[in-house]
C-alpha cells in the first residue's frame, strides 16, 4: 500500500526547496551534498529522501517552480489591449516584483541549470522562451518596425539583461525603488528600440564626416 502524504507535505517540500535554493546560491550546486542539504533544511537525510531522491530533482524543482511563478505573474499582468508603453511597463514592473525575495532561486536558475540533463534543461528553457515571447510582443508594441527583424531578439534580451541582473546591485533600502527602476528600464527600451535600425539623418552624416 502506498504511503499517504501528510497534510503539510507541500509546505514542507516548499521549505526544503527554499533552503536548498539558498544553499545552492551561496555555495554552488556542485558543492552541495544531500547531507549538507538535509542539515541546511533542518531535517534528517531519511526525511529529505521522502521528498527528493537526489539533488538533481531538487535543483529541477527549484528552477521549475520559480519559472512557473514568473510566468503566472507575467501572464496575469499582461494586457495586450493597453497602450504599448503602459503594457511594457506593466510587464517589467510585474517581473521585478516577482523577483522580490527570490534572489536565491533566480541566481540558481542563471548559474546552475547547466548541471541538469539535456531533457530537463529543454523543459525549463521552454518556459524561459514563453517569457521571452511575451516580452518580445510588448517590445514590438513600442517599436513595430522591429517585428520580423534580426534585432527584435537582441533588444528583448537586453531588457532581460537589465532586469535579470538587477539583484546584484539593487537594494530595497537604496535610493531607487522597484517602481522607479521599472520606469527607467521602460524608458531605456522604448527610446532605444524606437531608434534601432533607423537610418541616421543626412545632417548627422555631415556632422560625423566633419569630425
Task: Residue 163: give its domain's CATH number.
Answer: 1.10.357.10
Report how far residue 197's alpha carbon sits from residue 189's, in angstroms, rounded to the nearest whole number: 14
**CA 2 to the chain's CA centroid:** 37
For the full predicted model, state whether its pTM sits above 0.95: no
Please report whether residue 208 resides in a domain: no
pLDDT in tens, 178-195: 999 999 999 999 999 999
Question: Is residue 1 very low, low, confident or very high in pLDDT (cuts 50, 70, 90)?
Answer: very low
Please report whether residue 4 resides in a domain: no
Please report whether residue 50 resides in a domain: no
Report how far residue 201's alpha carbon sits from residue 180's, in angstroms, rounded to the nearest whole number: 33
What's the average model confidence in pLDDT over 161-168? 92
Question: Is residue 8 very low, low, confident or very high in pLDDT (cuts 50, 70, 90)?
Answer: confident
Q: Which domain holds residue 87?
A: 55-168+178-192
pLDDT in tens, 16-26: 999 999 999 99
Please report whether residue 26 resides in a domain: no
Report how far residue 17's alpha carbon sits from residue 63's, in angstroms, rounded to the nearest whole number: 9
Please count the structural domains in the chain.
Answer: 1
Please report whether residue 82 resides in a domain: yes
Please report whether residue 46 resides in a domain: no
Please report whether residue 42 resides in a domain: no
Q: DSSP labels for 149-196? A: STTHHHHHHHHHHHHHTGGGT--TTSSS-HHHHHHHHHHHHHHHHHHT
Please report whether residue 84 resides in a domain: yes
Amino acid at each position: 500500500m502506498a504511503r499517504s502524504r501528510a497534510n503539510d507535505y507541500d509546505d514542507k517540500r516548499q521549505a526544503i526547496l527554499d533552503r536548498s535554493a539558498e544553499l545552492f546560491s551561496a555555495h554552488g550546486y556542485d558543492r552541495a551534498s544531500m547531507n549538507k542539504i538535509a542539515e541546511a533544511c533542518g531535517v534528517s537525510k531519511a526525511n529529505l529522501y521522502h521528498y527528493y531522491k537526489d539533488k538533481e530533482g531538487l535543483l529541477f524543482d527549484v528552477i521549475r517552480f520559480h519559472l512557473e511563478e514568473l510566468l503566472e505573474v507575467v501572464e496575469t499582468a499582461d494586457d495586450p489591449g493597453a497602450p504599448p508603453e503602459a503594457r511594457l511597463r506593466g510587464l517589467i514592473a510585474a517581473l521585478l516584483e516577482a523577483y522580490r525575495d527570490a534572489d536565491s532561486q533566480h541566481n540558481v536558475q542563471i548559474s546552475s541549470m547547466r548541471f541538469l540533463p539535456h531533457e530537463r534543461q529543454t523543459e525549463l528553457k521552454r518556459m524561459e522562451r514563453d517569457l521571452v515571447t511575451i516580452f518580445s510582443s510588448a517590445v514590438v508594441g513600442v517599436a513595430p518596425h522591429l517585428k520580423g527583424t534580426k534585432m527584435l531578439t537582441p533588444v528583448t534580451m537586453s531588457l532581460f539583461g537589465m532586469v535579470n541582473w538587477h539583484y546584484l546591485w539593487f537594494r530595497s533600502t537604496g535610493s531607487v525603488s522597484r517602481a522607479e527602476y521599472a520606469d527607467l528600464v521602460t524608458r531605456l527600451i522604448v527610446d532605444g528600440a524606437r531608434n534601432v535600425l533607423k537610418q541616421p539623418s543626412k545632417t548627422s552624416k555631415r556632422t560625423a564626416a566633419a569630425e
